[in-house]
Amino acid sequence: MKQYLAFDIGGTQIKYGIIDETGNILSHALMDTEAYLGGPSIIDKVIAKGKILIQNHPVEGIAISTAGQVDFNTGTIVGAGESIPNYTGVEIKHLVEKALGLPVEVRNDVDCAALGEQWLGRHNVNNFIALTIGTGIGGAIVIDGEMYSGHTFSAGEWGYMLIEGQQFEKVASVSGLINLARQYKEDRDWTGKEIFDLYDKGDADIKLAVDTFFKHLAIGITNLIYIFNPEKVIVGGGITARGEKLLQEIQHEVQKYILPSIYKNTDIVLAKLSNQAGMVGAVYNFIKSR
């Protein structure tokens, strides 16, 4: 059974593990990204950890999922947000292959999450879009069974699209929800879970914030459904810890804005692979690229 070393580079943490060719996670752990040190430092951390792991595991190659816009042909970061300074231009594939002597494939993290869902999520569709809702909002597009990344590898960056004049991810991410809560309730270090706990208890001020959040999220999802006409919309990210209750809330809100004839032919579902989707999808991308 072939094994692969996988990394999932996020703005806060780097997940890593050994995954076999069937997608089974044999081991996994995480370390702090220390993104403030910059992109090159992150890759140094990946290489250092990789050197240790490949001594103990007979891996066929290294599969990397990462934040940022990625030229997956060259494994180079072609665009990155402020959360990881000096990341644009970093040649991840070249650097890691040279240091570790193994083949490397690199792809955007939300693309990898969608690939993981396509591989092991048993969604049984060839046309879908995926949203990850966390600190920001990321997206991925699969058309006729193939990932669509756009001509400069930035397709699915719909966190930047405008909803009622504001960026989607500013008003419909977990960060956006927290900012809304601060407008309606005392300013404090909220977490998404704390907000939803109060919402479930009927707190009137928090209800205003959460209702506004769901409105913005539903408008964004509705617009994407109109554009792509997908068979499924797969919602992932940290917010999905809320489970089926979240799914029902999204479905209910989307129905306020979408044509019934289109809604009934579009399934909105939760991602099934949770926090390991990026690593699993990175391995699938590696296998598909060979």
H-state helical runs in 37-165: 39-56, 92-100, 109-120
As beta bridge partners, residue 131 has 139, 235
pLDDT of res. 11:
87
Residues 139 and 265 in one domain: yes
Residues 137 and 217 in one domain: yes
What phi-psi label fits residue 68: left (phi over 0), alpha (psi between -120 and 50 degrees) or beta?
left
Residues 260 and 149 in one domain: yes
Distance CA 198, CA 205 (A): 9
- pTM above threshold 0.95: no
Residues 94 and 132 in one domain: no
Residues 128 and 63 in one domain: no
Rounded (10°) CA dihedral 61, 67, 71, 74 = -30
Q: Could you identify the residue written with the tokens 């300013």?
A: 187
267 contacts: CB under 8 Å, gap ≥ 6 = 125, 231, 232, 233
Residues 158 and 256 in one domain: yes
- Distance between first and last Cα of the chain: 16
How wide is the angle at C-alpha 107 spanned by C-alphas 103 and 113, nearest 5°? 120
Q: Strand ranges (DSSP E) for 99-250?
A: 104-108, 128-133, 137-143, 146-148, 162-163, 166-167, 232-236
Residues 93 and 134 in one domain: no
Residues 203 and 104 in one domain: no
User: What is the per-residue pLDDT across 145-181, written as a single tens digit (0 to 9) for each?
Assistant: 999 999 999 999 999 999 999 999 999 999 999 999 9
User: What is the per-residue pLDDT across 210-236, written as a single tens digit (0 to 9) for each?
Assistant: 999 999 999 999 999 999 999 999 999
Residues 160 and 263 in one domain: yes
- Count of domains for the chain: 2
Return the CATH number at 57.
3.30.420.40
Range of the domain at 30: 3-114+275-289
Which residues, given as ranges, of the chain have pLDDT below 70?
none
